[in-house]
Amino acid sequence: DGPRSLANDHVLTVLEALHDECGRDPEIRANLGFLLRQRGQWRRAHALILGAIDGIAPELVPHCLANAGYCLLELEEWVSAFGMLDATMSTLAAVDAGGVVIESMRPTASDLLDRAFQACSDASMIPASVIRMAEALRAFAPASRTPGPVSGP
């Protein structure tokens, strides 16, 4: 645990205090949710991030949808997760996303999707748009990573 961990601990303390005082602020909710997701608190992170979507700037909605979906993948709630990621792709298609790639922290979104595809017992529930999302994310993965094949519906 180095300086970054201490900084994140401080940020978490500040965000928790702000959330206690201004719990409806979408930016506080989203940032607290992103940090909790990074710490493996997926259920609470999902609720906070999802709660931020209605009031957050439109250009941040795809990031919130994707991260809420990633939380659900970690919880192995496949139908809801893939639905959320499908909504992410629909939102990106509906707006000028400026070439945005929705990447996450560690594990990377492409790693997380690859694991989810392998763990999901019914590949037919994976929307084609989510498979395209995984392919796009793999294109931006570090060069040292060699992704395995992914089969979809």
Residue from 114, 109, 95 nearest 137 by CA: 109
**Helix ranges restricted to H, the chain:** 3-21, 26-38, 42-52, 61-74, 78-94, 109-119, 128-139
- pLDDT tens readout for residues 85-124: 999 998 887 766 555 555 555 678 888 899 999 999 999 9
For residue 113, count other CB atoms closer than 10 A to its CB: 28
Tokens of 111: 């790693």
Per-residue pLDDT band for 150 (boundaries 50, 70, 90) equals very low
Phi, psi of 103 (to 5 degrees): -105, 155
Per-residue pLDDT band for 6 (boundaries 50, 70, 90) equals low
Average pLDDT for 67-80: 96
How far are the Cα atoms of 12, 14, 35, 36, 107 from residue 7, in angstroms, in the given order?
Answer: 9, 11, 12, 14, 20
User: Would you call 18 exposed, middle or buried from its count of C-beta atoms within 10 A (0-12, 13-18, 19+)?
Assistant: middle
For residue 55, count other CB atoms closer than 10 A to its CB: 12
**pTM for this prediction:** 0.75
In the chain, the percentage of residues whose pLDDT exceeds 90 is: 50
In the chain, the percentage of residues whose pLDDT exceeds 70 is: 80
Tokens of 134: 């995984």
Per-residue pLDDT band for 151 (boundaries 50, 70, 90) equals very low
Residue 63 CA to residue 44 CA, distance in Å, equals 17
The residue ranking higher by pLDDT, 12 or 150, is 12
